Structure 1
Amino acid sequence: MDTEDIQVLALSRSRTANERLHALIPGGAHTYAKGDDQYPDNLAPVISHGRGAHVWDVDGNRYVEYGSGLRSVSLGHAHPRVIEAVRRELDRGSNFVRPSIVEVEAAERFLATVPTAEMVKFAKNGSDATTAAVRLARAATGRPRVALCADHPFFSVDDWFIGTTPMSAGIPSSTNELTVAFPYGDLAATEELLTRYEGEVACLILEPATHSEPPPGYLAGLRELADRHGCVLIFDEMITGFRWSEAGAQGLYGVVPDLSTFGKALGNGFAVSALAGRRDLMELGGLRHSGDRVFLLSTTHGAETHSLAAAMAVQSTYVEEGVTARLHALGERLAAGVREVAAHMGVGDHLVVRGRASNLVFATLDEHGQPSQRYRTLFLRRLLAGGVLAPSFVVSSALSETDIDHTVDVVAQACAVYRKALDAADPTPWLAGRPVKPVFRRLA
């Protein structure tokens, strides 16, 4: 069977580096979504460096990159304005025995950017922020249960969430029983859940938007349900923050949560996250009240000056340069191009682009219209051969129109092979190894 000649990437150094990674680091990466099991067999490049929208692997191959840093690098790698802000702080010290003046400046900047919040506390990663929000909700309500949106893929590395995934080894069943789930977009089902556990649910936590727009009135309806049932409404804005608007989805849709969490794009790759929300709730983790103290967030490195400087530079850049609008324009150009070539090649019903233009993902469907890791493998192989590193189609503002057009050309070549595999009803000859695997699975 003709499997098409394909440029064989020179990845000998990457393969050696991957072996070294697995020998020293469980999983071979510090984030499961970056694991080499997420890429076709022997085609997992190890990165040397990046600039703008491009990265180079240790073998010297250059790629147009999407989904940079799991969506965190939205301005492009080594963005000059961010790097300059970081450099200004590095010679001044990064961590002290008392708060730095940078901390209050960063808080003022954040609250000016996200005016729906009244107080903010910074941390280093999203999981710390979401878990702090859950703990605060439990303390404020005196209730044990967490209700999370079942349709959203990730909230935290902590037990209250990971226990709900197939990777639940090591988490007591008693912990898992305290987390319940509601479907996105279904107010009736959510009300039924709150009624079933009346007086037990501390919070509703969800991403306010993902691959589709929230149904009309949905977020406002959740706000009303949370108020009526006395639970805390938490928006996880790790992804929607900045990509939907500078103030996140809450700024775009006009529904104010009690608490919200930000990260990813906030630091353009530097480690910084934020928990923000109502003053009366946030102050429970402070000193200016007479009640029980809540151990909200207390992190040694949460207020590193250079990361907070990066966050301030990111916020200024977004507001002054209209970055969110640029992300949408680039994403719209990419989505239109991919859909056009997929349709032209006869795979428009199988390679499906989804999501808001600033946060595009793609689905690879088999001959029966079902999600397929094997067809994803075929597609990723062709992208990599064309110099496109794209576990998703999430854009950064550093992409040029030329980068987008090159990506569309590579996608067209991939779609031609995709069509042949569909006609054969078997992509195996085009895989050259094992299929890529889902992150959340029970067995390694």
Structure 2
Amino acid sequence: MKVGLVLQARNGSTRFPKKMSADLMGRKVLEWVLLRAGRAKVDEFILATSSLEEDKELAQTAESYGWRVIRGDAFDVLSRYAKAVEEFSLDYVVRITGDCPLVDHRLIEFALSEALKKGADYTVFTGIINGFDVEVIKGGWLLKANRLARLPSEREHVSPYVRKSKRTKKLFLKYHEEDLSHIHLSLDYPEDLVVIQRLLRELGSEDFTYEDVLRLVRQKPELLKREKEVLPNEGYIKSLQEDREFIKGLKGKPLKLEESLKHLERAKRLIPNCSQTFSKSYLQFSVGASPLFVEEGRGAYLKDLDGNLYLDYTMGLGACVLGYAFEPVLKEVKKQLDKGSVFTLPHRLEVELAEILTQIIPCAQMVRFGKNGSDVTSAAVRLARAYTGRDMVACCGYHGWQDWYIGTTTRNKGVPQEVSKLTLTFEYNNIQSLERLFDEYPDRIACVIIEPVGVEEPKGDFLQRVKELAHKHGALLVFDEVVTGFRFALGGAQEYFGVEPDLACFGKAMGNGMPISAIVGRREIMELFEEVFFSFTFGGETASIASAIATIKYMREHDVIPQLWERGQRLLDGVKKLVEEKELEDLVVVKGYPVRFVVDFLGEDALKLKTLFQQECAKRGILFSGSHNISFSHTEQDIQKTLEVYDQVLDIAKYAYEYKMVEELLEGRVLEP
């Protein structure tokens, strides 16, 4: 193990220019520090000064005392310390500053001994006289700080990053019970030099102790009198203000969004909520800071009405698994449109797609088509009620806008209370919550409908136990695979987890952006559609069916699913690493699987932080909603770009929260839940 004492000093102080070269009782100030600190029992003595010409004499003085010298940036003091750690292979660094000419090597040795004994990453005295400051820092932490610290205060004052870290083992040493930090004996102003000279004359010896100084100032407090009162920590306070200006400067250039805002006003007059889909509305994108309407999409990119281009991960709420306007699929859609899309009779493509689905989805023996996920989840509930002769439904997850489900949520306006009462909810990964429903409503529950997985992983055999419990009580099991289908596996989450339901609902990715959904299941249940009415004009619309056939064919032939997992894993791992590295676990949560995960914010300022993150990502060319639905069109370059942008914007969010600047940095409307 190697310990280095690193002394930072330079002559460029604005409060006391050339103070290191100032005369103090016949010696330069720097010489007092070199002489007194140089008695400490360490392996290396290093002066870390600037590369400026005015500090050349400091380097020469240190070398004349046998000290090593590191020179670097005048204001980036942290980089000088990191350079010392690297050049001299230091395991521990004792940090002292040139403005402490009274420094006591005994305090240095005591702090070092305690740090080594306790295995501390960061050690500092608390309550001692200002002017005897000593910090002991592990070399590895200084290197990490040099790599990750960005704020001016962190670069100039060396230890703030390490001190603020939640992962450092800190040791705060109380050398005495009384807090004497108000006694100012560091050299910041010319007036300080006068006070220190008085003390040295009284002490009469060069080799005095901290206790000698303490005894003296208690006996003769008049020695501390100065013409000008000193503002404690003035330099650090100033750098904190510089931090705030630095944080403001991290913001990107505001986007040109005039056309989006004009279009919003048009939409407000004509379209309730200004969108056909809640998740796409202006409530979920910051008005004034993010795009609100799209002109076109290609691959993994969207272009807004103002011509701004964005890398997108929401991908049409997960529908565009191959990418926007994906040419091999578009080609088949256009070919079918030339032949017509809606006819008086069923089209042969309906049978072709049904055959494909029964080949790849484990539970699929028969198939019916819809246009949205809500169509087929509602069909599944009606079918289950008809099959079992029961009315009640147990659900877990999101299942669309229809009365039977939305009546269980806060968005239940317009749903009769009697309808809402027929649907019960239970908690994911809590089998007891489902058992209680069956106990409370015996022989009344027609089906258990559940999203087999959202962003929370099923624990143990939870899904299998749900199936067994449903069947034990005479209910059907329905998997809502509108989101998971053609993403976790071609056959959906039921294939991925190996649990086969009675019925399953698919949509979104199945048609790569074209409106199509499907309910599939066991033959004896599905045959009831001969009696259960499930019929609409566009159920067999052929452009969407052609799109689904082309999408599935492409995914099978090009082994798309494994590539989604592989690319998604790199993105997911990268985002998690950034959150961990920046110690943002209390503010940012990353949940889900490589093929579909979310990044969300926590705490009272969650929505404001999410708004700020969205705002700054948009400026850097990424449309952020929180959802990350990886697509086949996302490239390695896209993932790398995303991680670089998130690296920058997570810093903005972190600093904005730390300095209570979140609202100050917002340029648009705060998002709604």
- Determine if contact 2:363/2:503 at 8 Å carries over to the other structure: no
**Can you list the C-alpha shifts for 1:2-49, whole angstroms capped at 9, x where unaligned?**
433421100101111121122211100110100011112312331111
2:271 maps to what in 1?
25
Pair member with larger Rg: 2
- Establish whether residue 256 from structure 1 lines up as the match of residue 500 from structure 2: yes
Q: 1:89 aligns with which of 336, 340, 361?
A: 336
Task: Single out whichever of 50-59 and 1-10 deviates more from structure 2.
Answer: 1-10
Task: Single out whichever of 241-250 and 17-26 deviates more from structure 2.
Answer: 17-26
- Establish whether residue 56 from structure 1 lines up as the match of residue 291 from structure 2: no
2:655 maps to what in 1?
420
Q: 1:294 aligns with which of 514, 523, 532?
A: 532
- Determine if contact 2:408/2:425 at 8 Å carries over to the other structure: no
1:95, distance to aligned residue in structure 2 (A): 1.2
Q: Distance in 1 between matches of 2:461 and 2:362?
A: 22
- Determine if contact 1:339/1:348 at 8 Å carries over to the other structure: no
RMSD: 1.4
Give the gaps of 5 or more residues in structure 1: 287-292, 439-444
1:341 maps to what in 2?
578
Residues 382-393 of structure 1 aligned to structure 2 (within 5 Å): 382-391=616-625, 392-393=627-628
Residues 47-126 of structure 1 aligned to structure 2 (within 5 Å): 47-126=294-373
- Determine if contact 2:291/2:304 at 8 Å carries over to the other structure: no
1:9 maps to what in 2?
255
Q: 1:328 aligns with which of 565, 577, 590?
A: 565
- Establish whether residue 278 from structure 1 lines up as the match of residue 513 from structure 2: no
1:426, distance to aligned residue in structure 2 (A): 5.2
1:108, distance to aligned residue in structure 2 (A): 0.7
2:636 maps to what in 1?
401
- Determine if contact 2:489/2:496 at 8 Å carries over to the other structure: yes
1:67–1:10 Cα change, 3 Å = same
2:436 maps to what in 1?
192
1:429 maps to what in 2?
664
Give the gaps of 5 or more residues in structure 2: 1-243
How many residue pairs get matched? Answer: 425
1:196–1:352 Cα change, 3 Å = same
* Equivalent residue letter for 1:112: Q
- Determine if contact 1:331/1:395 at 8 Å carries over to the other structure: yes
1:337, distance to aligned residue in structure 2 (A): 1.7
The runs of at least 4 consecutive aligned structure 1 residues that moved more than 4 Å come to: none
- Determine if contact 1:118/1:277 at 8 Å carries over to the other structure: yes
Per the normalisation by structure 1, the TM-score is 0.93
Q: Distance in 2 between matches of 1:308 and 1:389?
A: 29
1:348, distance to aligned residue in structure 2 (A): 4.2
User: Percent identity over the alignment?
Assistant: 39
- Determine if contact 1:110/1:312 at 8 Å carries over to the other structure: no
1:218, distance to aligned residue in structure 2 (A): 1.1
Q: Distance in 1 between matches of 2:252 and 2:340?
A: 50
1:268 maps to what in 2?
512
* Equivalent residue letter for 1:15: L
Secondary structure of the 1:379 match is helix
Question: Which one has more relative contact order, counting CA pairs under 8 Å at least 6 apart?
Answer: 1
Q: Distance in 2 between matches of 1:304 and 1:169?
A: 32
1:139–1:227 Cα change, 3 Å = same
Secondary structure of the 1:222 match is helix
- Determine if contact 2:362/2:494 at 8 Å carries over to the other structure: no
1:147 maps to what in 2?
394
* Equivalent residue letter for 2:314: G
1:371, distance to aligned residue in structure 2 (A): 7.4
